[in-house]
Chains A and B, each alone.
Chain A
């Protein structure tokens, strides 16, 4: 079975540019999570969707960040405009029923110059 799929795996962009990260959850999972991992702050939950509806976006750093889930098989995390402090690894995770067990994608390593 395919796991959580994220694209791109690596992204290098310049400050001020728009960045879009993509995620395809495991088929049948109804919960989706976006995380950010940095050395300074560790793993932080950015946003949680259940049945395509955003339930908790309290971790989204600021208005420059937005996330959507137009259907059960696709989600995006957008940063506009990007800043160097957004450089991090962004993970998508999904789960089903037993929401405690989350399955993580390989991550997108973002570098903003």
Chain B
């Protein structure tokens, strides 16, 4: 079946540091890939998505590239802010079903 594996946290960074969260997937076919973000006490928000191989999703300074050869969709941001502190979820879609990774908690210190 489909599954998503993302790096375990928590991750603690200083402001303006570079952030990478690794995500790999197992799937039949070619699913769409997503990153969702959950801020404390809130629901999940779509951060970015990519629907086919070599697509790059980007939003709010975050980027992720759909790599079919390595079955990966790593999330990156060049300079994080305190406001980026949240839990980040990698996910893939199989028709209507989203399969989520376990989530990575990121804390950015001023």
Contact = CB atoms under 8 A, between A and B. Distances in A.
A69 to B, nearest CB: 15
Contact of B43 (A55, A56, A95, A104): A104
B82 interface: no
A103 B49 CA distance: 13
B95 A99 contact: yes
A95 B96 CA distance: 9
A105 B96 contact: no
Given A4-B43, A104-B45, A105-B43, A43 B96 contact: no
Contact of B100 (A4, A31, A43, A101): A43
A25 interface: no
B90 to A, nearest CB: 11
- By secondary structure, the A interface counts as strand
Contacts of A55: 96
B43 A48 contact: no
B96 A50 contact: yes
A31 B43 contact: no
Contacts of B51: 100
A70 interface: no
Nearest to A103: B46
A34 interface: no
A45 B98 contact: yes
Contacts of A106: 41-43
Lowest 4 CB-CB distances: which A-B pairs, in order? A104-B43, A100-B93, A104-B44, A43-B100
Contacts of A56: 96-97
Given A100-B32, A100-B49, A101-B49, A42 B100 contact: yes
A66 interface: no
